[in-house]
Chain A
């Protein structure tokens, strides 16, 4: 098959010229070409395991998303196929490319570049539990906006914009992923103005979704709903957790419809009395300024990292950052600026250096996973499966023919 040959040539080439590595389809669709290393993540209700792996022909590191299809319903398989199809139609430096996709035993393997800092959510879970600093957030949001600008221009709505869907590579490159819920406004060569479809398998994304997506009314929604989700993500990155977290879905819906607007938690949004208190977490860190019963909101964020420095939200974000978030989180979708417009927002003026120079430094003391700790994968896909199939071959003649 011609494309296999060319794929192989690509990989040979990448040994010598690193710049060519970005070419799509440069990894062989064959599980024996990859050595599985540590498990670096899970997802999709635990159907998916993400491994660090080494691509044998070149020795470079990749991430492999393995999904056990035997645990997936037929509908789920179709849904995953849809995602793969869409991902092949995108080609942008801020969108995580799928380098190779194939079936190994019962598993779907998706090969992607290895993003050594993990997702922005990993970063806030493991280190920046009270939120990241403003400049770091600016780099991440700008990367997301570049991806969204492309996605929207292509006539799609992402529908799953959140911190866990933005990844950072060892050299500070910011990439969006999470294309599973993406929806095309273009059907059969015609571009629709709005979407009415409610994203499947999206229970976990509810806190990020815009009021108009959740509302599911006849007016539908469009790419501006992603801008709302970006605003929520900004709060997530700044506060260390997503607004409306732990709130029952119906209550969250009502809050959003009634115009409750989450915000960045700092000295301008939290009353000074509360900030002077020891960090016994008050209602303020729900991230909802105008929340009704703020006291009723529970937290499971764990203890703040710095007890001596007083309240973790005793800090002040720039007025540009606050303004940016307010623009994104407006209740009326048509008032929210487009991704292209937001890229020019003064909030991003603080970015002076390239992400590759600045981000790894900003993320210190977190360092990217560089070496592959020799923690062997316990659940090697071939092990059990081949044993099972070996056994079954023994009794295959059980029927009398």
Chain B
């Protein structure tokens, strides 16, 4: 049955099959191919319409079905490197659109990817290749909106690659990886809390390296994210664990004195949780007591030019009061 969309007289199924063959050809010749780009452009038109023309629902359904039947998404991502610059963007467009597809409450593409999780890991590994990192990042984040797909990535060993990707020297790629990393750790709250609790040691060992990064942005953004994670009420037990450890307090106290005011400020938002904790562990309390006078002195002069930020000033005054009132618990009587 021919569909009436402009120049292209082929049906969506025909285009998908033709694209599949052309992509297979790419693998052999290892060079860009005009046919692939043309096919991709036609598919993009079917999905989003052109100019004033709305996309044709029936054509979209046929296209989607054929994508699943032929496993075209997998071959496209596997050969993304070989597709030309504009073609890569068309793949992202096609992918994003089809992942969003809904039939009632069902999201068939998400189901398809759940059954073919290699797609997620191919996208993740895409960060290693400069020419397709951002394309893969966009597709990956589209997947991460869906909890089952985010869970697959988060609970996998490959998740730990992100600790490397967010420090890549090419800043645009590192930024994109950080956006995905943040999505993974914050978007689906209950699942994220579950993940952080169950993988606490491994995750925070890696995370601490980011806080020590030589890269200014990595350091600043990961510290900010740490504050957000700890202050999210879903992560209550993770926070409790984090603020029970003296070495974390030491790190934050040192970061309060970082060269960068922005880093000092973000560190303040983590530091305050240690002080506000009504059930401080002994090692934490010891450090605070040892530095009681210094801390009060330090905080009363800390970023005083933020006087217009009322919340910050209130919090600072609260911390000074808390630290002033700190008392060594009465030592238990010797038996």
The interface of chain A, by Cβ under 8 A from chain B, is 1-4, 6-7, 24-25, 29-30, 69-70, 74, 77, 81, 84-85, 87-89, 91, 98, 100-103, 105-106, 108, 154, 186, 188-191, 385, 388-389, 392, 395-396, 398-401
B169 within 8 A of A: yes
Contact sample, A vs B, 8 pairs, CB 8 Å cutoff: A29-B170, A69-B220, A84-B175, A98-B172, A100-B170, A101-B171, A392-B257, A399-B254
Q: Are A401 and B129 in contact (CB under 8 A)?
A: no
The interface of chain B, by Cβ under 8 A from chain A, is 47-49, 85-86, 89, 93-100, 128-131, 133-134, 142, 168-172, 175-176, 179, 215-217, 220-221, 224, 246, 250, 253-254, 257-262, 287, 290-291, 294
Q: Are A400 and B97 in contact (CB under 8 A)?
A: no
Contacts of A401 in B (CB 8 A): 246, 250, 287, 290
Q: Which of B128, B169, B170, B176 contacts A85 (CB 8 A)?
A: B176
Q: Which of B89, B96, B250 contacts A188 (CB 8 A)?
A: B96
Contacts of A101 in B (CB 8 A): 170-172
Contacts of A77 in B (CB 8 A): 217, 220-221
Q: Are B130 and A3 in contact (CB under 8 A)?
A: yes
Q: Are A1 and B94 in contact (CB under 8 A)?
A: no
Decide yes or no: A84 and B171 within 8 Å by CB, A89-B89, A189-B48 being known contacts.
Answer: yes
Q: Are A186 and B254 in contact (CB under 8 A)?
A: no
Contacts of A89 in B (CB 8 A): 89, 134
9 tightest A-B CB contacts, nearest first = A189-B97, A3-B130, A189-B96, A29-B169, A81-B175, A84-B172, A101-B171, A400-B290, A191-B48
Q: Are A189 and B85 in contact (CB under 8 A)?
A: no
Contacts of B94 in A (CB 8 A): 189
Q: Which of B168, B220, B262 contacts A1 (CB 8 A)?
A: B168
Other A-B pairs beyond A70-B260, A399-B250, 9, CB < 8 Å = A2-B128, A4-B169, A84-B171, A88-B172, A89-B89, A186-B48, A189-B94, A395-B257, A398-B257
Q: Is the interface of A mostly helix, strand, loop or mixed?
A: mixed
List the B residue with the shortest CB-CB distance to A100. B170
Q: Which one of A84, A88, A189 has the greatest number of beta carbons of chain B within 10 Å? A: A189
Q: Are A70 and B262 in contact (CB under 8 A)?
A: yes
Q: How far is it, in angstroms, between the C-alpha of A29 and the C-alpha of B133 when the chains are bound?
A: 16
Q: Are A85 and B257 in contact (CB under 8 A)?
A: no
Q: How far is it, in angstroms, between the C-alpha of A220 and the C-alpha of B48 when the chains are bound?
A: 20
Q: Are B130 and A102 in contact (CB under 8 A)?
A: no
Q: Are A74 and B48 in contact (CB under 8 A)?
A: no
Q: Are B171 and A102 in contact (CB under 8 A)?
A: yes
Q: How far is it, in angstroms, between the C-alpha of A2 and the C-alpha of B128 when the chains are bound?
A: 7
Q: How far is it, in angstroms, between the C-alpha of A321 and the C-alpha of B48 when the chains are bound?
A: 37
Q: Are A30 and B169 in contact (CB under 8 A)?
A: yes
Q: Are A3 and B129 in contact (CB under 8 A)?
A: yes
Contacts of B128 in A (CB 8 A): 1-3
Q: Are A392 and B100 in contact (CB under 8 A)?
A: no
Contacts of B175 in A (CB 8 A): 81, 84-85
For residue B170, give the distance in angstroms from its CB to the closest CB of chain A.
Answer: 5
Q: How far is it, in angstroms, between the C-alpha of A108 and the C-alpha of B217 when the chains are bound?
A: 9
Contacts of A24 in B (CB 8 A): 131
Q: Are A190 and B290 in contact (CB under 8 A)?
A: no
Q: Are B290 and A29 in contact (CB under 8 A)?
A: no
Q: Which of B89, B129, B131, B170 contacts A102 (CB 8 A)?
A: B170
Decide yes or no: A188 and B97 within 8 Å by CB, A69-B216, A70-B262, A401-B250 being known contacts.
Answer: yes
Q: Which of B93, B171, B220, B257 contacts A186 (CB 8 A)?
A: B93
List the A residue with the shortest CB-CB distance to B213. A103
Contacts of B49 in A (CB 8 A): 191
For residue A299, give the distance in angstroms from its CB to the closest CB of chain B.
Answer: 37
Contacts of A188 in B (CB 8 A): 96-97, 100, 142
Contacts of A84 in B (CB 8 A): 171-172, 175
Q: Are B93 and A74 in contact (CB under 8 A)?
A: no
Q: Are A189 and B95 in contact (CB under 8 A)?
A: yes
For residue B89, give the distance in angstroms from its CB to the closest CB of chain A.
Answer: 6
For residue B39, give the distance in angstroms from its CB to the closest CB of chain A.
Answer: 17
Contacts of B246 in A (CB 8 A): 401
